[in-house]
A = this chain, B = another copy of it.
Amino acid sequence: MEKKGNVLVGQSGGPTAVINSSLAGVYKTALDRGFSKVYGMRNGIQGFLDGQYVDMADYVKNELDLELLKRTPSAFLGTCRYKLPAIHEDKSVYEQIFKLLDDMEIEVFIYIGGNDSMDTIKQLSDYAILTGATQRFIGCPKTIDNDLALTDHTPGFGSAAKYIGTSTKEIIRDAMGFSYQKKNVTIIEVMGRNAGWLTGATALSKGEDCDGPDKIYLPEVPFDVEQFKGEVEKLLKKKDVVVIAVSEGIKNAEGTYICQFSAGSDSVDAFGHVQMTGTAAYLANYIHDELGCKTRAVEFSTLQRAASHLASRVDINEAFMVGGAAVKAADEGTSGVMVVIDRLSDDPYQSSTGVYDVHRIANAEKVVPREWINKSGDYVTDEFINYVNPLIQGDYQPMMVDGLPRHLTMNTKGYKDEYKN
């Protein structure tokens, strides 16, 4: 077998419970297919531009390490939110990157990330075409938000949905047990700025032993605070325990995020996105003030993207699969594509991978189709549940050491000098 060059892999954007399973898939497949070395960018393209990278072989020394990596949440390599400039605006960044790629004998560049990360793949592959560079650039989908176009779903979504479904069920049970002669309203806030996939996943808690949330509000439908109060009031006439799920990104008809009604929510990130938080707290205070009942706000916070102790087996396996498929596509000469997951059948659930031109994906957001939300805009339909359900199946047990899940880590302390290569 002809000796191949090296692979460079990075992770970008918000972490997930299975982002490292994709990294494991890249690493294993790259070695299996005869690539020489697999380098990992530290902290994405931003760290790489600062000269930070590692040889994966220094950290993943055997099959046990590989399995631990698959079970480790959050980006093993570290991540960033960094937007490359347009090529015509600033060529120097590109020249710097491609010089590094040449020096490191990189043949394949794989970036595991979401929408913003696919923009990086698009720019780099465009630049390679413009300059005749031979490296291949492949995107590997990753986001709990499930908002990438053209792929049936994204790795990371299934595990987040499983965590959200389970936790919603436990929160409902808790609220029900503790309700006597004290009406209470719990408002659960779920991640998802513009897409309600994760918020809708709270409906998974509905089944023979749980009635699920009473209402589910997705960001796809304008949210009316007054009408919401009316619905809660109606529910409290029939029930003592009311549980409602809302997306962090719900907006009123004028387009104002509900969380912006509360204090301290005006910061924006590098991509200009408003930082969301406080939607549930605002609504819980509002309902308490208006209706006088006991209310509680629950934010799943970063746990919904980091809870690898409750990962879905389907999700971990698919994350691994797309990592491998990215290497395979590059090895076969493809570039400027993102790996996608195609759903072959629902029952039994089967999936395979494909690739799509990254120009068709970057910066496009896939939201929940309006027909998968009920007419009154306050619950998801059975079609929605049937779509998500296969993705939360099966467990991938953490390796428990001394009572807690063990993770594979490069850096435990976060002290500054550990970031230097």
A11 CB contacts on chain B under 8 angstroms: 177
Q: Flag if A288 contacts B264 (CB, 8 Å).
A: yes
Interface string of A159-183 (1 = CB under 8 A from B): 0001001110111011111111100
- Segment of A71-79, A94-102, A248-256, A332-340 in the binding face: A71-79
Residues of B within 8 A of A204 (CB): 403-404
Q: Is A146 an interface residue (CB 8 A)?
A: no
Is B302 touching A296 in the complex (CB atoms < 8 A)? yes
Q: Select one of B75, B169, B209, B241 contacting A408, CB under 8 A.
A: B209
In order of increasing CB-CB distance, the 4 nearest A-B pairs are A74-B177, A43-B180, A75-B177, A392-B403
Contacts A239-B414, A296-B302, A409-B209 given; does A14 touch B178 at CB 8 Å: yes
A394 touches B403 (CB 8 A): yes
Taking CB atoms and an 8 Å cut-off, the chain A residues in 191-209 that contact chain B are: 204-205, 207-209
Question: Are the C-beta atoms of B76 and A177 separated by less than 8 Å?
Answer: yes
| Contact pick for A264, options B74, B177, B285, B415, CB 8 Å | B285
Contact present for A395 and B402 (CB under 8 Å) = no
Nearest B residue (CB) for A313: B403
Q: Do A207 and B166 touch across chains, with their CB atoms under 8 A apart?
A: no
**What's the nearest-Cβ distance from chain B to residue A60, in Å?**
14
| In contact, A405 and B15 (Cβ under 8 angstroms) | no
Subset of 11 A-B contacts with CB under 8 Å: A43-B181, A73-B173, A75-B178, A76-B177, A167-B303, A170-B303, A173-B306, A208-B412, A209-B408, A389-B402, A395-B400
The answer to whether B181 and A416 touch across the interface, beta carbons within 8 angstroms, is no
Is A406 positioned at the interface, with any CB of B under 8 Å from its CB? yes
For the complex, what is the distance from the CA of A416 to the CA of B183, rounded to whole Å? 11
Known: A78-B179, A173-B306, A301-B296. A404 touches B392 (CB 8 A): yes
Bound complex: CA A367 to CA B299 (Å): 28
Closest Cβ of chain B to A324, distance in Å, is 22
Q: In the complex the two chains form, what is the Cα distance from A215 to B386 in whole Å?
A: 44
Closest to A165 in B: B404
Tell me, rounded to whole Å, the shortest Cβ–Cβ distance linking A153 to chain B.
Answer: 14
Restricting to A201-254, which residues have a CB under 8 Å from any CB of B?
204-205, 207-211, 238-242
